[in-house]
């Protein structure tokens, strides 16, 4: 029994479960492919951008050089945050070190939000898809039992269809959940490495500027 046959022959609950699993699968694969492309570029760009920054003679020239490498805008927002003039406001009060800590922290949070985007969806699909498939399994078993009750005896033709429906739903739930879980775990490790690199750069940049580094 194919998924199309299952959808055509099933009742409203079966069709709803099948449609939900299909939507979850499509959404998770779109996120997986997009994040694989994004994080591949980001992993390269962060290293090249930070190297270009430290090889520059001034902040202004560093910003221009970083712009040529930072295609996902992960390093540039940190540099730009340190150039904002907050004179005359509470944000500009306190010493230079405190100001830099605040603006770099806020910029880093925005950058990390971009990297983390889609992780919640993958985690949700990975944790809920097996239970959605289990709902279809329960429905399939229920149909098998009602078929047996109606026939008064166990016959292959009465239970083959509903049992096949239950097994397909179980397999479909796992097939949707496994890629989402793998993607979440792999991307989480990559994001962690990029996050560590960005935090290290932000800390070094803060120390440079707090000590009156080149502008």
The per-residue pLDDT for range 139-187, each reduced to its tens digit, is 777 776 676 666 666 556 656 666 677 778 888 889 999 999 999 999 9
Residue in 172, 186, 185 with CA at minimum distance from that of residue 26: 172
Other beta carbons less than 10 A from residue 166's beta carbon: 23
pLDDT of residue 121: 95
Angstrom CA distances, 39 to 55, 177, 196, stand at: 24, 21, 14
Q: Give the DSSP H/E element, type plus range, for residue 29.
A: helix 12-54
- pTM of the prediction? 0.80
**Calpha distance 211→207 (Å, rounded):** 6
pLDDT of residue 188: 95
pLDDT bracket for residue 14 (50, 70, 90): confident
Which of 16 and 189 is assigned the larger pLDDT?
A: 189
Between 43-47, 82-86, 127-131, the lowest mean confidence (pLDDT) is in 82-86
Percent of the chain scored above 90 by pLDDT? Answer: 40
């Amino acid at each position: 029994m194919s998924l199309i046959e299952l959808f055509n022959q099933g009742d409203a609950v079966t069709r709803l479960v099948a449609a939900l699993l299909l939507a979850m699968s499509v959404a998770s694969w779109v996120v997986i492919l997009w994040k694989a492309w994004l994080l591949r570029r980001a992993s390269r760009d962060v290293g090249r951008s930070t190297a270009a920054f430290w090889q520059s003679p001034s902040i202004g020239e560093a910003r221009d050089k970083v712009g040529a490498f930072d295609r996902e805008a992960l390093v540039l927002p940190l540099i730009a945050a340190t150039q904002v003039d907050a004179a005359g406001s509470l944000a500009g009060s306190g010493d230079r070190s405190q100001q830099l800590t605040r603006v770099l922290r806020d910029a880093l949070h925005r950058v990390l939000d971009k990297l983390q985007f889609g992780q919640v969806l993958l985690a949700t699909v990975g944790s809920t898809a097996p239970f959605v498939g289990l709902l279809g399994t329960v429905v399939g078993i229920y149909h098998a039992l009602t078929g047996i009750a109606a026939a008064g005896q166990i016959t292959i033709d009465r239970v083959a269809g509903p049992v096949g429906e239950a097994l397909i739903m179980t397999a479909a739930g796992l097939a949707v959940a496994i890629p989402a879980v793998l993607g979440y775990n792999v991307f989480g490790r990559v994001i962690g490495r990029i996050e560590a690199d960005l935090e290290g750069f932000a800390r070094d940049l803060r120390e440079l500027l707090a000590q009156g580094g080149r502008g």
